[in-house]
Structure formats: structure tokens, C-alpha cells
Chains A and B, each alone.
Chain A
Amino acid sequence: MSPAELLDLLGRPFMQRALLAALLTGLAAPAIGTFIVQRRLALLGDGIGHVAVTGVALGLLTGTSPTWTAVVVAILGAVLIEVIREKGHTNGDVALALLFYGGLAGGVLITGLAGDGAAGLQVYLFGSVTSISSTEVWYTAGLALVVLTLTLGLLPQLFAVASDPEFAKVAGLRVRAYNLLVAVLAAVSVTVAMRTVGLLLVSALMVVPVATSQQLARSFRSTLLWAMVLGGVAAVGGLVVAAWLSARATVAPGPSIVLLALAMFAATWPVGVWLRRRRRLAEPFPALGTGTSGPHEVDEHPHQHGDDCGHPAVPHDDHLDYVHDGHRHAPHGEHYDEH
């Protein structure tokens, strides 16, 4: 496809809708994803995505908008994961796995009952540019705005809860409410991302930009902001790539967005390794005080300190120190320690 044709394609109304949806998705998913990665629940988005498949299938079966059924079911699934995780203490991954498989199996089964088969689900699993109607763009924009406002507005509280729930609880923050909020926001951004990246790859947009910006950032806030920038670039860029390839083959935007995000990670990873190495090298050696300097070797002191060696003896705790060239020597085996 020539650049002129690509520009023409990008100028079409459906493509502009898709670009707007992709940009908002690319900004919202990494924002909430940063908190999820901080809590070491990187696969939470994937679990919610699988549950949302059932929601989409219910929409297809009942003839209602799959976006809204997906939002409802994804939020229910996210709350369920959070509750199982909290009650079961260490079994967060098992809770995720249970919902993972239940959600996917239920979705495929219900889609079969609806008579659509796998093809009807395909659009939601890996994203589709052309399927986005203008009303859905408004839904997407609204939901993405809610996610962004809440994550950025409550950033200090969410950071405190995600990094140390016990401290947050003693500090009087409602830890459970904030954890549920993160789960619900994750569910909302999963459904926001459903149309562009698709449910099976949505988690990548929550995690990969965060992993990329971690390579370069040193603070939580800059990690979050850079992840949003990278997520936006990957989502829009991936969509353009998918459109460009569409002349030759049918390419869903999901894979191209995710591969672009991964390419960014691959590009920054060596830079991150180099930066960390440079930071370590730049670190000064710890200053050695006179009290902690190493032992003197015997050959520097040809004589044994003693009663008549000429060096003044000073009592020091349970032994004698000998004043020698402005510092004190304590006999210690074969050498003298500096005291």
C-alpha cells in the first residue's frame, strides 16, 4: 500500500474512530496496569479478559450490546478474583486460573448456543478496526476517562495500598475498598480495550508498557506516565500497521499492537541494563573511617609493640593500644588493628 493510500485509509471515519479508541485504550490500560504490576498481579488483566469472553457471549446470545454485558461480567469476575485472593491469602494465582478457564469455556459454549460460532467471537478475542460504531467510541471514551481520572486522582492512595497494604491499613486507608476499585477499574479497561486489542491480548497492553518504562524510570510516578505514553504510541502505531497490512491480508489490530509494544520493550531492555550498570559504577565506594580501616601488615612494623618499644601505650577496654604515627595500634594475632 502506498503512503497516499494509507493516508486516505486513515482519513476514513471508521478508521478515525478506531484510532481514537486505540489512543484512549493505550493510555488507560497501562495506567491501571502499573498498580497491578506493583501488586505483582500481572496476569490479573488476562484473567478478567477471559471472564469477559463469557460476558460478550451473553451479549451475543441475548442480542444486547456485548460491550455492556462484557463490562458487567468482567466487573463481577474481577470482584470475585479479588475476594478469593483476599480470603485465600496465598492462592491468588489459583483464583485467577479458575476464572481463566471458566470464563473462556463459558464464553465459547454460550457463543455456540447463540449460533454464531467462533467467527462471531473472533472480533472480540483479537480486536477489529471496522466493528467499532460511533456510539461505541463514545462509550470507550467515557470509560477510559473514568479509569484515567480515578487512577491519576487517587494515585497517592492507590500507590500506598498497592505497595504496603498493612501500612495503608494502619494509616486509616480503606485497603479493601481500594483493592476492589483497582479490580473494577482493571475490568473496565479490559472491556475498553476489547475492541482494539481484543480480550485475549488485552493484558499485554496493561503489562508490557509498564515493563518497558520500568527499564528507564526510577520512580513510580514516572513509570506510570511513561507507560501511558508508550501504551498510547503502541496502540495507535499498531493500528496503523494493521491498516497498512490490510491491503495484502486480514490482520487483526490486537497482534500488531502487542508486537509493537513488545518491540519497544526489546529496544529499551539493553538500555535499561546499561543504565543500571552505569548507576552501579557511578556509586561511590563507602567511605572508610579510621576506626574501620583494615589491619596493618606485620612487615610495615619490624618490631613488636611492647613495654619499652618507645610507643606510648594507651589502655583501651580490655587491651593496650600503642600510639604509632598519629594512630593507635592494637595487637591482633599476626598484625595490628587500627583503633
Chain B
Amino acid sequence: MLNPAGTAVVEARDVTVALGGRPVLRGNDLVVRHGEFVALMGANGSGKSTLVRALTGLRPLTQGSVLLFGTPLPDFRERHRIGFVPQRGTAAGGVPSSVREVVASGRLTRRPLLRPAGKADRAAIDDALEVVGLTGMASEGVSTLSGGQQQRVLIARALAGEPELFFLDEPTAGVDLPNQLALADALRTLSERGATIVLVAHELGPLEPLVDRAVVMRDGRIAYDGPPLAHEDVHGHHHPIAGSHDHVPHVGSPFDTMSLDPREDRR
């Protein structure tokens, strides 16, 4: 639900991130309000994943600030209020671990050190498994599951901490259609419970009816922010690039061409 009058859950101001000296995000402002379902879209390398990583504190900002629930990110301690679903491929390590163990690690945000899991913890883990439809597979090894099921395990892990704000990084990438539908069901359940969802997606697929706000990134900047766009509007429309017609050969040394791409000159 779009919620223009609601409280700001994420407030990013002038967010700039440089990786190895190269700017990846340049001065982005983004405000996400309570209960919104926001899709961050854009081409590969447009900075959408980096923006989510900057919002969760995984990427240090070179400039700007991020407020989560009104608290500056460096001082934000209520980690149980946010749930993060990283890109797939990180669910299995070198030792077999069961679905339930991976999901249980999402509950650590609410469990004090050296305290065994209580009744509420177990109930939250059971609920998380049920929302993603993996109740019957709790004792299976994570590495034996299919890619789509592993993705659902990661969502259940974020869910186990009962957060109010979800960040999902490409949850549907490389996931087949039945699993995408299961994912969409799980996200619909979350959204209906009042959670705020920010997800990175290359294409929305079955998630499209859920999204009420699309933010499209291009070259590290937010290029569009509004109601979801059709696929054609995002990828189909290109401005012709006027070639630069100077008469100096683009050569640094005899066999070294400099910047074949005219767009690079304008950065």
C-alpha cells in the first residue's frame, strides 16, 4: 500500500557510495514509508544492490546519511526490526546444516547471548517456515534443496526475527516460476501483516501485483520513482547517443585506444 502520510521507515539523504574510488551511487534521496512495498529496479550495475547494501550498513557511505526508523544507521541497535535476505548462494557452507538451523539463526536478533531458545523463539521459527511453505522440510539439509527452496529458506530466516522492515536482494533471480509464485505468496503474507518491504529485482514477474512503488536506478542515480512501470518502459526506450566528432584520434600510446565508448567522456 502506498502510504504518503505514514512515518518514514527508511530515510536516505544524498547517499553516495564509492567502490575502489569509483562512484557507484551518487547523491540518492529515498524515503520509504511504513507499509510500502518498494521494488528497486534497473539494469545490471545500475547500483540497485549497492543501494540496498548501503541502507543495511553493509557498504559504508562516502557521503550522505541513512536513517532507519528515525535513528542514524551507525547508532541503530534495534536490529530485530530489520530482516535482510541476501542474494542466493550463501545458504550452504562447508558443513551440512538443516533448514531449521539456518532459519533459527535469523532469530538471534531477539535472543540474548548464552540464552537457549525459548517457546516464543520456536513458535516464530515454525511460523516463518509455514509462511514460506517449508514446514515439512525443516530437518532437511539446506544443500539438498533446489535453488528456489534455498531462497525461501533465506526469506524464512529473515522472517524468524519478526522484523517490520525487509530488505531482499534479488529474491527471484534464477528461481523457476512455481518457486517465484511461492515467494510471491510469502511476500504477500508479509505485506498484509503490515511489513515494509524493499526488494531489488531485475524483473518483477509474479511479484508485479504486489509492488506499489517502483524505484528505477540508472548509472548510480534514481531515474524514476513512482507507480510500477511496464517492462517496455524500463528496458525498451533508449535515447540515441550522439557520437562526438572531434578530430583527435583516441590513442594514448600506439596500440592503446582510449575510451571507445563516447559516454565515458561525459562522466
Contacts and interface: CB of A to CB of B under 8 A. Distances in A.
Given A167-B158, A168-B108, A221-B101, 14 more contacts: A37-B94, A38-B97, A156-B111, A157-B108, A159-B105, A166-B86, A167-B106, A170-B56, A170-B84, A171-B84, A218-B98, A219-B97, A219-B98, A219-B141
Interface in B68-121: 77, 79, 82, 84, 86, 90-91, 93-98, 100-102, 104-106, 108-109, 111, 113-114, 117
Contacts of B104: 156
- Best-surrounded residue of B57, B58, B84, B94 (most CB of chain A within 10 A): B94
B195 to A, nearest CB: 16
A42 B140 CA distance: 24
Given A170-B56, A171-B161, A163 B108 contact: no
Nearest to B115: A156
Contact of A163 (B57, B79, B105): B105
Interface string A29-42: 00000100111101
Given A154-B113, A173-B108, A167 B95 contact: no
B44 interface: no
A162 B92 CA distance: 10
Query: On chain B, which size bracket covers the interface?
Result: 35 or more
Given A154-B113, A219-B139, A220-B98, A171 B108 contact: yes
A223 B94 contact: no
A163 B113 contact: no
Nearest to B110: A171
Contacts of B82: 170
A171 B96 CA distance: 22
A163 B154 CA distance: 12
B95 A37 contact: yes
B8 to A, nearest CB: 20
Contact of A220 (B77, B79, B95, B114): B95
Interface in A101-120: none
Nearest to A171: B109
A76 interface: no
B213 interface: no
Contact of A159 (B94, B97, B158, B167): B97
Given A160-B108, A218-B139, A223 B96 contact: yes
A171 B97 contact: no
A39 B93 CA distance: 7
A153 B113 CA distance: 8
A199 interface: no
Nearest to A218: B141
A171 B111 CA distance: 11
B101 A220 contact: yes
Contacts of B56: 170
A170 B79 contact: yes
B157 interface: yes
A18 to B, nearest CB: 30
